[in-house]
Every structure is written in C-alpha cells, then in structure tokens.
Chain A
Amino acid sequence: MSTELPEGKDAAVKLADSDFAADRREHDVRSALLDYWGRIRAGELGALPAILGLAGLILLFFALRPNTFLSNQNIANLFTQALPIVILAMGLVFVLLLGEIDLSAGVASGVCAAVMAKLIADSGQPWYVAVISALAVGVVIGTAIGWLVAVIRIPSFVVSLAFFLGIQGITLKLIGDGGTVPVRDDFIVALANKNMPVWLGWTLAAVCAAGYAATQLLRWRRQQARNLHSRPVELVIAQSVVVAAALLLGTYLLSQDRAASPLIFLGGVPWGVPLVGVLLIVCTFVLARTPYGRHIYAVGGNAEAARRAGINVTRIRISVFIIASGFAAVSGIVAASRLNSVTPDAGGGNTLLYAVGAAVIGGTSLFGGRGKARDAVLGGLVIAIIDNGLGLLGTKAYLSFLITGIVLLFAASIDALARRRRSNTGR
C-alpha cells in the first residue's frame, strides 16, 4: 500500500493539478485533431459517414445529371422533399436512443394527416383546430404504444408492428378505398409550397449563424474562466464558420430564381425549413442540456443503472414514443402540404424506412444510447438526395426499392461495425 498520501492541503492541491492533466492542459489544434482521429479509429464516427455520403452522392448525381441535379429548381425541391423525412427521423431519434423502434411512425404520420385533412375539408374547421387535432391523435398513438412497451413490456418491435397494420386500417376507413382528401387550406399548403421573402431568409440565416457562434464562444469562455474541460478556440471558431457557411450557402441557393418563366420571380427559403430549424434547436437543447435529455441517454445506455439512480425509466420510455408519434403528426402535415392531398397510403410504403435510415445514416445507433437531433437532418438530406437523384435518373420503381434497402442495410452495418470496434478498443 502506498504511503505517499498527500500531507496537508498544499500537497492535495498539487496532486489534483496533476490528476486531470488532460482537462487543464492547453489544448492545441493538433492534439484536438489527433484526439478526433483516435476517436474515429476507435469507432466513434459521429457525423462523418453522413457528411462523406452527402458529398459523394452530390458528386455522383452531379456527374450523372449535370444539368438537372444542381439546378435551382431541383435544389429547392430536394429541400422540401427532405422535410417530412427529417421531421419523422427527428422524432425517431428519441426512440432509437433507448434502443427501441417505432415501426408505426410512418403510418401514424398518415393517419394524423388524414385527420387534419378531413377536419378542414369535411367539417370546415380552421387550420389550427385541425393541426392541434392531428397532434393530439399522434400523442394518443404514442401514449398507447409507450404504455404497452413500458408497462406491459411487450417488445416495441411487436407493438409498433401491430400499430403499423392497425393504423393503416384506420386511415383507410377515414378516407375510403381509393379516395383522396384534398388539402387546400392556405396555411397548410404554404408550409412546403410557399417561400419566405428573400430578405427574411437572409436575416434568419444570419441571426442563426451569429447565435450559434455566440453560444459556442460564450460556452468556451465560461469553460476557460472556470478552468474546465474545453476545446481549442481555433476549433470552436472553425466550427462556427462552417455552420455559418452552410446556413448562408443554403440560403443563397434557395434564394435564386427558380421560376420556369422569366416573367416572374420564384425564390426564397420554403417555410418548412425554418420549422425544421426550430425543431432541431429545441430537440438539441432538450437532449444535450436538460436533465430529461440526460436521462434518455442514461436509460438507453444502461436502464438498470438509470433505475438505480432514481430515474423513472417507465416514464422516460412512454415519453419517447409520444415524442416520436407527435413528430410523426408534424411530418404527416408537412407531407400533406407538399402533395396537396392525403391518400389512404399516406405514410405507408418506404416512409418509415427512409426515416429510420436517415437517423442511422446521420449517426444514431440502433443499439441505443448514441445519437443527436442533427443526425436526422444530415441523414434526411442523404436519403432525400438518393430519392431525388434516382428519380432524375429515371430509375424503375423496383430498382429504387432495392437501392434504398441496400443503403439502409449499409448504414446499419456501419453502425454495428462501429459498435464492435468501440467495444474492442474499450470505448
């Protein structure tokens, strides 16, 4: 047994200083980059696969369809195409963080959209009543699934598969076989079809970029002031610059005139994009900065440890299914806005797989405990580009299904292999 225990306070302080050397050490860019490289090699991939995928796919489709793929019109189309996928995926991230799955989220978005459309078209309700009702339907579905999973303890796979079938029946009953409910309400239609004035788009982008940079720098300063673990300031600035550049580039692309006729101007950021932005900010805050978010990660990492720490695991489990179905309702509304109608197969087909694929490609683990809200955005863009690009190539339907299935499997394999690598390297 060591006898060199600290004698008195001075020794203890000195010892403490050497204890957490990595926290106190002045981080330079080089060591931070080496750390990052080490993490990637150890299987903590983060957003890397999604960003590489985005770059690769853009190059690929640009090479194959140089005239159409990066046209102003198609870029705007791509963003509105990604909206419902991203929103659905963002809700699913919460469920995936617990290592659960909600297979019914896609059709839940369909039934919520159907409820909204029916209320507007048949009952003549104002849009806000219809939207609130749709959200309520989503919450009810989520509560039911969550209760069955968390209290009765049926595997979420089975519960949501049952809901997947049942909800399709409800949608069919609501709309009628072969029927279509048109969506003509101005507000709803505007979500995916109308654009912000160009100046507003620029203002919002600038405010968001400045806000992001300010938050990051303020946090860095606070950490420095209190001698806490912090990243090198160069990296903080670089990250802020990249985010600002992405925001401004997106705004620039969406502000171009994309009207088919030279007589009118059609441009600006679609209204659905700031909606996703708000959801992204709220979800990121909730997951990263609130006790509730922390508890979600804890339950996903080790439910027994979370229970012993006094966390109400059942309540957390139910709540994530409510969030997923609530987001599904929003996603269904945006999808209905984009298509101007709701059909009985709304939210069916590959809607759910696109959303799960988006979350997983973005970096959310299917095994629980790892993932961020931004994964849904990055992965959703990847999926939208694949969908959009294949459409431009005129790929046959059977081939699109095959390719999408392969992409999903590919993303899941990266997740599983990275996880194995993490456990091999003790991460």
Chain B
Amino acid sequence: MNAGDAWEPAARASGPQALPYGPAAPSGPADPPFPDGAARVSRPANAADTLTAHDRSARGDAARWEPLGMAVTPVLDLRGIDKSFGSVKVLHDIAFSAYPGEVTALVGDNGAGKTTLVKCIGGIHPPDAGEYRFEGRPVRLGSPRDAAALGIEVVHQDLALCENLDIVQNLFLGRERRRGIALDESGMEELARRTLSGLSVRTMGSVRQKISTLSGGQRQTVAIARAVLWDSKLVVLDEPAAALGVAQTQQVLEIVRRLADKGLAVVLISHNMNDVFAVSDRIAALYLGRMVAQVRTADVTHRQVVELITSGVSGDLGLRR
C-alpha cells in the first residue's frame, strides 16, 4: 500500500514491521534513478502531488532508491517501543528507523511524543518495552554516555554551549585532546577548523571566537559540528531551525543535508513543513504517541503530512480506522 515498506527489505526480512499500516505493495519496473543528494535540497514539490501514495508505489517509484537491490541496514531500528510516565502512556508501540545517508524527519504536533522518543533514542529515558537495534545489533542504553559511545549524538533545542568559551573549546568540551597533562590546543584547533570546513561553514571569521559573539544560526552550526566531530553515526537534531531567521535557517538546513550526504543517519525534528520537505528523504509522523506513518518524502504531499500530524490519517496512510 504504502511506499515506505517497499524499500525496506532489510527491515522486512528481519521480522514483521510493527507499523500500523499495511504490507508492502508489489514493486513494478524501476524508474530512472533520482538525481543525487545535493540536488534534492532544491527539489520542488512536483507533479507527484496529484497521485496517491498507492498509485505511486504501484508504479514502483520507491524501488528506485535501492541501489542494485542491496539491503541497507538501518543505523537505528526501533520496534514496539512503549514508554510511560506513571500512568500516562506517552509512546505506544513505536516503530522507527533511520538510514545512513538519509535525513529522516520526525514530525508531530505538540505532545505527540517527539521529544520523548528522542530521549529514548539518546539514552535519557530508557524505553519500558520494545526492541532497540543499533546497526543491526540489539542494544540497551542506560545513559546518554552509552548513546555517545555508540555514536549517537543528540543536539538539543537549547544547544548547551558555554558562552564564555570559544568555538574550539566548545567543540571539544568534555572530550579534550591532551598532550601529556596539558591540552593539545593546536591539534584541537586544526581539527575544529577541518570539521567546520567540512560542513562548509562560511560565516565564521575565526574558530577562536567566543560563543557569545555568534549569531543563533552560527551557534546551531557549532552545536551540530560538535555532534559530528566524534565519528558519530546517528545525529538527532531537535528543532534546529526554530527561532532562526530565513537566511540562517537556510544555512542550517544545508548543513543538515550535508551531514546525510556524508553518510550519517540524521533525524530531524521540525514543525516547519517547508524545512521538512526541503531536506528530508523520509518522514515519520507521530500522532498521540503512535507512529502513524513512515514514508518517503517524495511519495507524500505537504497536505498529507499535515493531515497525518493533525488527525493521524490521510487517505490510506496512517492509523487504520
């Protein structure tokens, strides 16, 4: 039915998906490959808008994403995750995957459970039940440090930077490089500059600027750079573009896209549909603590996603009636 399943052979092979939507549709002849990642950033909302998800999966659009039919193991694979706080059940039977080289947008209204899910992923709240697989292996996270050790970095909305320290010092905070008992300042500065250059950060004059002199977008960039400095495999960004201006949002979204193009799995939480459609490869929609759909961005329209967020259903996507 839904395009989302058609390109998840690895997930299907290792067990039934707990997604509440239907089984995979048979795939048709593959279309020519989609243009490369960089171009996708500027992808317009195209003619596919008029088609339903069913039509498109029947045409086999989704299959084109699988290079030579190779099974791509999701970096993060959650199944049947439940989480309650006291008597309040916040997450019901959540299934969620994040793939390397892709931006997965996590959308949902306030109170849908996005933040709780992120905290489960980041090891802050261990889930009550369900399976947490990282790179195919089942893992248990007891603390954020466990998550960091696996290569999971969460950039929280409030960034958590020390304003009295400079960019290099913040990037390496808590994980300083040493030479003997002293800090290896030169090495850290070089690596910081390489990382920021790798993200094509253009607007900073000096890596020795204090954080307090940076704009909101630049701070967000530093926070993201800190997450990718450590050989991370999965980066979760909680509302990175909230409270940013137009140009700065653009800048941050470009960086988000670049992270995925480097092969990282990126989970992006956002309320802004334009941002979501601009950078994401796939959209996961939460509605009242349930995962109602995880679909390719190309396969859904703006309106469908809004419907999924607000009512949990859109056509044949979402919760079954």
**Which residues of A approach B to under 8 Å, CB–CB?**
1-3, 5-6, 12, 15-16, 18-23, 222-223, 226, 228-229, 285, 289-291, 294-295, 297-298, 300-302, 304-306, 308-311, 369-370, 422-423, 426-427
Count contacts on B: residues with CB < 8 A to the other chain.
Answer: 48
Instruction: Given A1-B42, A5-B38, A302-B162, verify A229-B212 contact (CB < 8 Å).
Output: no
The answer to whether A6 and B200 have CB atoms under 8 Å apart is yes
The answer to whether B162 and A310 have CB atoms under 8 Å apart is no
Query: In the complex, how many angstroms separate the beta carbon of B17 from the nearest chain A beta carbon?
Result: 32
Question: Residue B254 contacts which of A5, A226, A306, A310 (CB distance < 8 angstroms)?
Answer: A5
7 cross-chain pairs, A with B, having the tightest CB-CB distances, nearest first? A309-B174, A16-B197, A22-B205, A301-B162, A301-B164, A369-B164, A305-B160
Hey, what's the 0/1 contact readout for B178-211 against A, CB within 8 Å counting as 1?
A: 1001110110011001001110111011111010
A15 to B254, CA, bound (A): 15
Question: Residue A300 contacts which of B164, B198, B278 (CB distance < 8 angstroms)?
Answer: B164
**Which residues of B approach A to under 8 Å, CB–CB?**
38-39, 41-42, 144-145, 148, 156, 159-165, 169, 173-176, 178, 181-183, 185-186, 189-190, 193, 196-198, 200-202, 204-208, 210, 212-213, 250, 253-254, 258, 278
The answer to whether B254 and A229 have CB atoms under 8 Å apart is no
Q: 7 other contacts beyond A294-B165, A422-B212, with CB at 8 A cut-off?
A: A1-B253, A226-B186, A229-B207, A302-B161, A302-B162, A308-B160, A427-B212
Query: Most chain-B CB neighbours within 10 Å: which of A285, A304, A308, A310?
Result: A308
Q: What residues of chain A lie closer than 8 Å to B190, measured between beta carbons?
A: 226, 228
The answer to whether A12 and B197 have CB atoms under 8 Å apart is yes
Question: Residue A19 contacts which of B163, B189, B204 (CB distance < 8 angstroms)?
Answer: B204
The answer to whether A290 and B183 have CB atoms under 8 Å apart is yes
The answer to whether A19 and B196 have CB atoms under 8 Å apart is yes
Query: Most chain-A CB neighbours within 10 Å: which of B159, B200, B208?
Result: B200
A2 to B162, CA, bound (A): 30
Instruction: Given A306-B162, A427-B212, verify A19-B202 contact (CB < 8 Å).
Output: yes
* Chain A, interface SS category: helix
Q: What residues of chain B lie closer than 8 Å to A295, measured between beta carbons?
A: 174
Q: What residues of chain B lie closer than 8 Å to A18, measured between beta carbons?
A: 202
Query: Most chain-A CB neighbours within 10 Å: which of B156, B165, B173, B278?
Result: B173
The answer to whether B186 and A223 have CB atoms under 8 Å apart is yes
A21 to B202, CA, bound (A): 10
Q: What residues of chain A lie closer than 8 Å to B189, measured between beta carbons?
A: 228-229
Sample (23) of A-B pairs whose CB atoms are under 8 Å apart: A1-B253, A1-B254, A5-B254, A12-B198, A15-B197, A16-B193, A19-B193, A19-B197, A19-B201, A20-B205, A229-B206, A290-B183, A294-B169, A298-B169, A302-B160, A302-B164, A305-B162, A308-B156, A308-B160, A311-B173, A311-B174, A369-B163, A427-B210
A368's closest neighbor in chain B, by CB?
A: B164
Q: What residues of chain B lie closer than 8 Å to A426, measured between beta carbons?
A: 212-213
Q: What residues of chain A lie closer than 8 Å to B164, measured between beta carbons?
A: 297, 300-302, 369-370
The answer to whether A309 and B173 have CB atoms under 8 Å apart is yes
Q: What residues of chain A lie closer than 8 Å to B160, measured between beta carbons?
A: 302, 304-305, 308-309
A20 to B165, CA, bound (A): 18
B261's closest neighbor in chain A, by CB?
A: A5
Question: Residue B178 contacts which of A6, A291, A298 (CB distance < 8 angstroms)?
Answer: A291
Q: What residues of chain A lie closer than 8 Å to B161, measured between beta carbons?
A: 302, 305
Q: What residues of chain A lie closer than 8 Å to B201, measured between beta carbons?
A: 19
B148's closest neighbor in chain A, by CB?
A: A310
Question: Residue A229 contacts which of B208, B210, B278 (CB distance < 8 angstroms)?
Answer: B208
The answer to whether B193 and A310 have CB atoms under 8 Å apart is no
Question: Residue B145 contacts which of A15, A298, A310 (CB distance < 8 angstroms)?
Answer: A310
The answer to whether A222 and B186 have CB atoms under 8 Å apart is yes
Instruction: Given A229-B208, A310-B174, verify A301-B202 contact (CB < 8 Å).
Output: no
A308 to B163, CA, bound (A): 15
